[in-house]
Amino acid sequence: MRSLSTHGTSTTLSNSTTLLSSHLYQSCSLAKAIDTDSQNFELSQSGLTHPKASFMILLTPDPFVRFEEARSVYPAILDGSGQHHNAYVGALNSYFRNKPYHWFHCFEPLLQGLDCSYYGTRTNTALHTDLCSPLATNPTWSKLPEPARTALQANGVAMWHKLVDQLLPDVIVISVARQHLSRIRFHRIGPVSQLLTIIGTTTGKDRKKPYHVEAQRAELTAGKAALLVFGEAANTPFGTVSNPDKVRIGDAIGRIAG
């Protein structure tokens, strides 16, 4: 099975997505190489804009703290010759083994419901992508002036769609403010259905309004059908949902995706 998940927030446009796939694409950043068979998948996550995340390294005394394998070939790795391709891909693929940014922890319970993780501790491995722009920014997205966001999105959203068409996921899990769903331009197939309804808060109290997780099929450019799963974000993906309920969401996705 192949799947993609996207997340974001209502206060900060988030640019991140998670893909579940039956095979690997080592050219994709933040991927961890794993062996798969027909029962396994790779999960890559994406949303609208992402915090500084891996690019926080640019602001630290050691810019290679999360990309150790690139240390010995910098700056030659940037010459465009392809000579250091393997080192470049290896550095990206090892991201989650070298002090990964803590922001990614928020998605782990849902991924674990799919027997998946960013950290290589499950049968399947998560891969992170970005929806509005593949470029992390400083300041973060919510503090960028509107003209800067517009300029980044002009190419960034199109690039994300091209990446998805290369990865051909089975599932796209989206956690953004609802108005950002329109940025995902793949043709929808059939009606939206309720995958799961959560009535409790993160503290165990009853919600004022139930939290609905929705599912709908979409057709990728290559003609492949993918399952879109949406749950609204709040500061982090599925931010108002407790960790046990995130696991339930992941389990429900796995059942419907097959």
Summarised one tens digit per residue, pLDDT across range 53-86 is 333 334 456 778 888 888 888 888 878 788 888 8
Looking at the fold, whether 159 and 85 belong to one and the same domain comes out as no
> Residue 127 — very low, low, confident or very high, per pLDDT cuts 50/70/90?
confident
Looking at the fold, whether 85 and 176 belong to one and the same domain comes out as no
How many domains is the chain built from?
2
Residue 27 has pLDDT above 80, yes or no: no
Looking at the fold, whether 224 and 159 belong to one and the same domain comes out as yes
Looking at the fold, whether 43 and 148 belong to one and the same domain comes out as yes
Looking at the fold, whether 73 and 14 belong to one and the same domain comes out as no
Residue 36 has which token pair?
Answer: 């798969």
Q: In whole angstroms, how far apart are CA 192 and each of 56, 118, 182?
A: 38, 28, 14
Which whole number is the average pLDDT over 22-45? Answer: 30
Q: Which residues of 160-196 are buried (b: 16+ CB within 10 A; e: fewer)?
A: bbebbeebbbbbbbbbbbeebbebbebeeeeeeeebb
**Three-state secondary-structure class, residue 150:** helix
Burial class (CB in 10 A: 0-12, 13-18, 19+), 242: middle
Where in the sequence is the domain holding 111, given as residue range(s)? Answer: 3-52+101-257
CA distance 57 to 202: 32
pTM, two decimals, is 0.74
Torsions phi, psi of 85, nearest 5? -55, -50
Query: Which is it for the CA torsion 5, 90, 167, 252, positive or negative?
Result: negative
Looking at the fold, whether 93 and 213 belong to one and the same domain comes out as no
Residue 76's CB is within 10 A of a number of other CB atoms, namely: 11
